[in-house]
A and B are shown apart, each in its own frame.
Chain A
Amino acid sequence: MEVTDAAVVALVLAGDRDAFRVLVERHSRSIFRVVFRMTGNQQDAEEIVQETFLRAYKSLERFELRANFSTWLYRIAVNRTLDFLNARKTHMQTKDTYQIADNPDGEEGKQVQLPATGPGPERLLLSAEMKRKIAGAMGMLSPSERVAFTMRHMEGRSIEEISKALDLRASAAKNSVFRAVQKLRQQLEPFVGAVK
């Protein structure tokens, strides 16, 4: 019989700090998957996974029974990722940034931000050139657009889930997804025909 997440949370709150390990073992892999898709970098994703669990542990008293623990954790992870992407954007605007010379009409000083190390999240695409273009185009999305697009397009999350996770109205969540797609179209459509 599997001990429920709620029972484990009760143990942790009763003072058994080590019981939290059960929750880490159950959920860290799925949280990593989500975060990696948003950051595109393994090392960053691993770090955010730890930050997510740390935040969850500290906020455990506020966890509501009605909420599913994994859903609650997922929201924390999304917000930690968003914070991370915002911080990285600020950092990279002033520090080293990859630049793609042929970036067409890009925003943010025509610079495309790519993860500094590690594999990108577009490895499934057949064309290496297209992968490079997609990485570049994803890097041009704002953090909230990137997170909303990843949730909708890659994770298959509903608009309602996105709006709850990002604490947005549904119309704003839809708009984030739309703006992301619009930017991706501007950057990538010239290449779609060539790859096909």
Chain B
Amino acid sequence: MNHLSEEQIVLHYYGDAENNGDIQRHLAACSACWGQFEQVQSLLQQIEPAEVPELAAGFEEKTWLNLRDRLPEKRKGFLPQLFSQKWALVGVMALLLLAAFLTGRWWPRTPDNNAGTKPGDVNPQRVVLVAVGDHLERSQMLLVEIMNADTKGPIDLSTEQAQARELLDANYLYRVSAQRTGDPQVTRVLDELGRVLTEIANGPTDLTAADLKEIRKRIQAEGLLFKIRVVGSQVDSKVRGQERDGAGNINQRL
């Protein structure tokens, strides 16, 4: 029987040879080829996946800032995209589903005294306000959990990191929304919150006590929890105000 070629041996190592079963049988029977295989294996096992340098917490932010001004404007308007891009349609459907979900989840049950309210009276600003209020509350809970996390023994913040990643996306959308409706206070808080969430979301999974201390320092230094409480309570007041004034008052800023 012919010996295996070098190519067969190398590809077999990765499981990419055409006839792995035959090669396996040959290796079991042929000590010369087995010796060759062992040499390849021994070498390749020493070439380990490269250790990637630890990136700074603001890497994403830095990348974005360097990139932002180089991005040309895209043609505006949904309709042309809807007809020319089938995936855009699905994207829009996803957005609509998200909006429907948020509306269903956060729109309070209509009390009896509003029984006569027509569907057309739904105030979209109020939906956003309620969603932002909820977002701030969830963020606040997350930050409190991190501030109070036990630093004795191994620190596992993987759940909190997953939450931070979810909150980060919503945070971006609410920040853009706040910016567009001209609410600088909410924009500023969401901006600061976004930076801290980014740091939490992208931190190493096996945090050290020093890492955690650093994150806490950042939260404390920016007085973020306090700001979130203040803005959250203002948002709540606005929501309650709108409840009192009725659903028709849509001129309220975010």
Contact = CB atoms under 8 A, between A and B. Distances in A.
A44 interface: no
A25 B68 CA distance: 13
A37 B44 CA distance: 16
Contacts of B81: 10, 13-14
Interface in A17-54: 17-22, 24-25, 28-29, 32-33, 36-37, 40, 42, 46, 49-50, 53-54
B67 interface: yes
Contacts of A7: 91-92, 94-95, 98
Given A181-B40, A184-B43, A57 B71 contact: yes
Interface string B21-53: 000000000000000000110111011111111
Interface string A148-165: 000011110001000000
A188 B88 CA distance: 50
B245 interface: no
Interface string A114-128: 000011111111000
B43 A17 contact: no
A58 B91 CA distance: 18
23 contacts: A1-B98, A8-B169, A9-B88, A13-B85, A14-B74, A15-B77, A19-B172, A24-B64, A25-B60, A29-B55, A36-B50, A37-B50, A49-B63, A50-B67, A57-B71, A119-B51, A120-B50, A121-B52, A123-B50, A124-B49, A130-B46, A153-B44, A177-B10
B227 interface: no
Contact of A124 (B6, B10, B50, B168): B50
Interface residues of B, number: 59
Interface residues of A, number: 71
B243 interface: no
Interface stretch (A59-67, A75-83, A101-109): A59-67
A196 B43 CA distance: 10
A189 B36 CA distance: 11
Interface in B154-185: 165-166, 168-170, 172-173, 176
Contact of A177 (B14, B48, B59, B92): B14
Contact of A60 (B74, B78, B202): B74
